[in-house]
Each structure stands twice: as structure tokens, then as C-alpha cells.
Amino acid sequence: MSAADSADLVVVGGGIAGTMAVLTAAARGLDVAWIADAVTAADQSAHWHGHLHRGRLYDPVRESELIEELGQNVAFWWSNEVVRFHTELETVALGWDERWADGFRRRMRLLGSAASRPSYLTPSVAFVRTDEAVLDGPAFLAAAGTVARSVATAVDGRCTAIRPASRGRWTAEARGRDGSTVETTAGAVVLATGTAMPQLLPRDAPLSASPDVRLSRMLVLRGALPPAAAIIPSRAAGGLFFASREVPGPSGERVWLVSDGYSSPGSTSPGALTDGWWVCSVLERLAEFIDPGLLTGLEVGGYLAPKSRLLSSPTQVPAHGYAVDGDRSLVALLPAKWSTAPTTAAHALAALIPDPVPAAARAAEVAELLSAAPLLPAPAFAETWQSVTRFEPAAALREPGLPALRRASALLADPSAPPAALPVRAVA
């Protein structure tokens, strides 16, 4: 066993949450030790659907706190250092009638209503065009990780334990890729390990909110699809959203990643019929908004996507993106959305170590750190949809009855399978 030098802060986790925590701490001048697996695209970090959400695609009546947090992140995601990871797509919000569209424009303070109708929409639905963008997630996370490694002491390995040390410090134990064990001590800990967090949380470090693991699902439509991104916030649609990706190779095909607001408790599926019902239900709801001709001839795949969040006690409602222990020396960091990660990390660190600089300004400093980040021609990992190996014809899944449900359920891949390490251009 070897011991790493002590640090001001140890960050555990190599996804978007951990990476943003490292960069935020470095911007504050802290000495950071970073424990991260070599491949960092897992759980939420591997399941982005693309929208940057400049506060435009959520109803502020229901998600006012998220709107405020998204607003703080505008300076980060639309900075000169980050926009090079953007891809502009036709991005719209959809609803059932023009009254809905007018109300949406008013609530979101969107000006103007003249916009050409995207060809993939049915004539019967109302739509509002927004100024969103899609993020090239693998390229961004790879570049941000490169910068984080240059400003922190990185330990390539998997954290196996976190325990209290003497004089109010913490020890984080990690197993390296060569099998060796490394211990790092620090005065504070940021635990950003997503669905692995419940197993790593020390029992004697009660948090202000409890971690909760849930299972979402993602549908993958493959075929002659246009580059597009949309969110359908109407209740009848169940929060459907989708974003397109290019399929590597000469086929000229494209995929749409489609999901909704449904999730089930735990990290394993409650059963094949539940999964099959979800696939068929999404296809039926999507057909209400998308031109049926476009959906003809497509192939359908899918995968299970473990997610993690924090629940406040005793009400068990979703908490902010972090929870802190009673001594304010350990924070659990779970940014539920990529788009809120920069300021969520700044807020979480300020809960451990007071910071007079506003979180939005701190996020702008982190963006400046990225200015020297190299753009890798082939990111070290791919999005989860690329590991999907089985597809079914869409028409076969829209037939009524148990056979369609069983065929649909078989499409959802094992959630424990790691993302495929394939080169990819993530967006059109």
C-alpha cells in the first residue's frame, strides 16, 4: 500500500460532476487530489440527451429553482471556451395547440412567433423554436478531463473506501489499475460517484439529503432521420424529449435518442413487461407529434440508464444537486443535469469551504480554465447508444399484444455493461 500526499480536497468520481468539482476547486487555488477511473463515461455522464437548456424548455411554475440554476450556467455553457463543443440543430418545444404555444412563449419570455415548421412534425401540433444547442458530450468531457488532470494530483483507479482520519481529516482509499492500493488524505471530500455513492458513503457521515438510485430508459431510433432536437413538456406526452446523433460510418443514417420522465426505483428493471410497455408506449406517444411517414421503416433499439438523485428528509422530495454532512467536511455531489453542473459544483464546494465569489462567476472562471483544452480527434469513450447491438423493426413493436411487448423488452441492454470505447462524432 502506498500513500499519496495529503491535499486540501479529494474529489472522487470522473464524470461530469467530479470533473466540474476538480476544475472549480482548482480555480479557487485549492490543492486537489482526484480519484477517477480511466474511462469516465458512466451513468448520467454517459446519458446526456444533448440540450443545454438555457432556461427555456422548462415551465418556471413547476421548476423555478432549476430555471434559476440554469440561468447561472448560461455564462459557462455559452462562453467562447465551451461553444466550440456546440452543434446547432433544429430545436423546438412541442405542444397540442396554439394556446399552449402562446403560453409557453409568454412564460419563457420568447419573442416572436414566425418560424418555419420543421418537416418532421405532424401538422396538428403547435411548436416553438428556441435558441438551444446540442453539446458534443464525449469531446467536452474528454477535454475537461485533460485540463482537470493538469491542475490536480490524479489517481487512476476506483475508490474502494472513504473513512475518517485523525484531526478531522478524511482518508480515501483507491485501487489502481495495476492492483496497487493508494491512500489519499484531505481535509474535505467531494463524493461524485453517481449510482455508486450509497456504497461509498461512510456510515458516520449523515448527509442533509439521502442518495436515491433510479432506472430510466432510452429508446434509440435508427434510420433516415433529420438532425433535430425537441422536448415535449405536455402532460399527455409524459415529458418526451429527443436529440439526434450521427451514426459512424458511410451509411448516412442517424439516430434519435428518445426518452421521457418515467423511471423506476433501484438500478435493475422491475420486469420484462414493464420494459416492453415503456418501449411501445414511447413509440405510440411519439407518433402523435412526429410525421408517421418518418417513423416508417426505422429500426428501434434501447438501453437501461441508471440515474442517481438526492432526496430531502423527511419529505423525500428531490433536493438540490448536493448534500453536505454535519461537520461540513464531506459533500455528495449529484448534478441531475449536465446543464447545471458548473454552478452546482461551485455551490457544493462553497458548502464545504466558504467562498465569497458568486457561483456563476466561479463557473466563468472554470470556463476560462478550459481555454487551453485540446480537442481530441477521437474521444476515449462513446455514448451508451453505440453499445446497443440489437434492433427491431419499428413496425413490429407497434403491433398490439404480448409478442410486441416481449420483443420490445428484449431491446433494453444490461445497465451494467460499460460504454463502448469507439470513436464517434457525437452530434450532427
pLDDT tens by residue, 255-282: 999 999 888 888 888 888 899 999 999 9
pLDDT digits (tens, 9 = 90+) for 347-387: 999 999 999 999 999 999 999 999 988 887 776 777 888 87
pLDDT band for position 113 (cuts 50, 70, 90)? low
pLDDT digits (tens, 9 = 90+) for 14-38: 899 999 999 999 999 999 999 987 6
pLDDT digits (tens, 9 = 90+) for 230-243: 988 777 788 899 99
Which amino acid type is present at position 230? A
β-pairing, 7-12 vs 32-36, is parallel
Which amino acid type is present at position 375? L
Q: State the Cα–Cα distance between residues 24 and 29, nearest whole angstrom.
A: 9
Give the CA distances from residue 193 to residues 6, 14, 287, 308, in Å, rounded to whole numbers and listed in that order.
21, 8, 37, 9
> Which stretches within 171-240 are classed as H helix?
197-200
Q: Assign domain 2-385 to a CATH class.
A: alpha beta
94: β partners: 127
Q: Which cell goes with 83?
A: 461553444
Q: State the Cα–Cα distance between residues 282 and 409, nearest whole angstrom.
A: 13
Give the CA distances from residue 97 to residues 104, 113, 116, 239, 285, in Å, rounded to whole numbers and listed in that order.
11, 14, 16, 16, 16
β-pairing, 181-191 vs 170-176, is antiparallel
Q: What is the pLDDT of residue 62?
A: 55
> Which stretches within 152-261 are classed as H helix?
197-200
Neighbours of 118 (CB within 10 A): 17
Does residue 369 contact residue 151 with C-beta atoms inside 8 Å?
Answer: yes
Residue 306 has pLDDT above 90, yes or no: no
Q: Which cell goes with 327?
A: 461537520
**Residue 140 CA, distance from chain mean position:** 13
Residue 105 has pLDDT above 90, yes or no: no
Residue 169 has pLDDT above 50, yes or no: yes
How many Cα neighbours within 13 Å face the side chain of 193? Answer: 22
Tallying the residues shown for the chain, one arrives at 428
Q: State the Cα–Cα distance between residues 306 and 329, nearest whole angstrom.
A: 27
Span between the terminal Cα atoms of the chain, in Å:
47
Q: What is the pLDDT of residue 208?
A: 86
Neighbours of 70 (CB within 10 A): 22
What's the rounded mean pLDDT across residues 67-88?
86
Q: Which cell goes with 191?
A: 463524493
Give the phi and the psi of residue 31 in degrees, each rounded to 5.
Answer: -85, 115
What's the rounded mean pLDDT across residues 90-94?
86
Neighbours of 2 (CB within 10 A): 8
Q: Which of 64-68, 328-332, 370-374 has the lowest mean pLDDT?
A: 64-68
pLDDT band for position 5 (cuts 50, 70, 90)? low
Neighbours of 54 (CB within 10 A): 18
Which amino acid type is present at position 346? A
Domain boundaries, the chain: 2-385
Q: State the Cα–Cα distance between residues 252 and 225, nearest whole angstrom.
A: 10
Q: Which cell goes with 166?
A: 485523525
Helix axes 359-369, 64-77, angle to 10 degrees: 30
Q: State the Cα–Cα distance between residues 7 and 26, nearest whole angstrom.
A: 12
Which amino acid type is present at position 201? L
Q: State the Cα–Cα distance between residues 7 and 185, nearest whole angstrom.
A: 6
β-pairing, 330-333 vs 181-191, is parallel
SS3 134: strand
> Which stretches within 353-391 are classed as H helix?
359-369
SS3 160: strand
421/149: higher pLDDT: 149
pTM: 0.89
Q: Identify the residue whose cell numbers are 489499475.
A: 177
